[in-house]
Amino acid sequence: MSVRKLKPITPGQRFRVVNGFDAITTDKPEKSLLAPIKRTGGRNSQGRMTTRYKGGGHKRRYRIIDFKRDKQGIPATVATIEYDPNRTAFIALLNYQDGEKRYIIAQNGLEVGQNVVSGAEATPEIGNTLPLSVIPLGTIISCIELHPGQGAVIARSAGSFAQLMARDGKFATVKLPSGEVRMILVTCSATIGAVSNSDHQLLVGGKAGRSRWLGRRPRTRPVAMNPVDHPMGGGEGRSSGGHPRSRNGIPAKGYRTRSKTKASSKYIVERRKK
């Protein structure tokens, strides 16, 4: 994977950095695994805007991803590595021996023609999914379940990964991408390897229009608003706006919003770094 810096032939391309797409092998998605997406523009069922700065953007079709990897013991061959407009990571199309096709999140180093398999008997190689109980300690993992059979919910975005630190009884200790160290049941599954497209963080849009293509509308700075619109609004001239806080008055930058009585707190061994 690599990135390309474009030549400054227009003002919008002067600072633009785009993905090289070296890992992508096809631009035609598998039709049987596509589903329509109805865009909301940030509106709820009453038509009222509940999320600001959303709307427009290019039309997309959803790629149905297999986050559960529940076809255990059946080998599959990687047919293609594809771009997915709905996520930062690349996806891989698997052809199972029984004829079924499924998309999965592609790991770094996953190649066309490679065989992957899921289940407790699988070897700990890139792209294989195993329970935490049989993964060797110190292994880099991604696409981790929080509850057995739930499907992957942790470390799914481009370049992210976690590390299996220890096992004690029915719990495994995993260091998450945020730096948090947490206990997860050893019966939960995880995929070996880091998520693909790690160069995603190096991309530069170059112009405002690229954000509009992605469905992001311009964001108004709170200090530029009136007092009726935001706690940081108002004032004469270029006033700073007071303490940083949300539109609802909740302080930003370091204020803890997690409930002290949350049941899952007992599974957190070490909180993420501030």
Tell me the mean pLDDT in the region 225-251.
Answer: 90
> With 80 as the cut, is the pLDDT of residue 271 above it?
yes
Q: How confident is the model at residue 2 (pLDDT cuts 50, 70, 90)?
A: confident
Tell me the mean pLDDT in the region 24-48.
Answer: 95
Q: What is the pLDDT of residues 44-77, one digit of tens each?
A: 999 999 999 999 999 999 999 999 999 999 999 9
CA distance linking residue 70 with residue 114, whole number of Å: 19
Structure tokens at 155: 């470390």
What integer pLDDT is reported at residue 87 of this predicted model?
96
Q: Which of 159-163, 213-217, 241-245 has the lowest mean pLDDT?
A: 241-245
Structure tokens at 20: 């090289």
pLDDT over 90 for what percent of the chain? Answer: 94
37-41, 253-257, 269-273, range with greatest mean pLDDT: 37-41
Structure tokens at 267: 């599974």
Q: How confident is the model at residue 239 (pLDDT cuts 50, 70, 90)?
A: confident
* Contact call for residues 229 and 211 (beta carbons, < 8 A): no
SS3 83: coil
Best CA proximity match to 101, nearest among 66, 130, 143: 66
* Structural domains in the chain plus CATH codes: 3-200 (2.40.50.140), 220-274 (4.10.950.10)
Q: How many CB atoms lie within 10 A of CB 53?
A: 13
* Residue 146, CB-side half-sphere exposure with 13 Å CA sphere: 9
- Predicted TM-score of the model (pTM): 0.92
CA distances, 267 to each of 88, 130, 152, 174, 253 (Å):
29, 21, 18, 11, 25
Q: What is the pLDDT of residues 166-177, one digit of tens each?
A: 999 999 999 999
Q: What is the pLDDT of residues 115-164, one digit of tens each?
A: 999 999 999 999 999 999 999 999 999 999 999 999 999 999 999 999 99
* Contact call for residues 231 and 251 (beta carbons, < 8 A): no
* Contact call for residues 85 and 95 (beta carbons, < 8 A): no
Partners of residue 214 on adjacent β-strands: none
What integer pLDDT is reported at residue 159 of this predicted model?
95
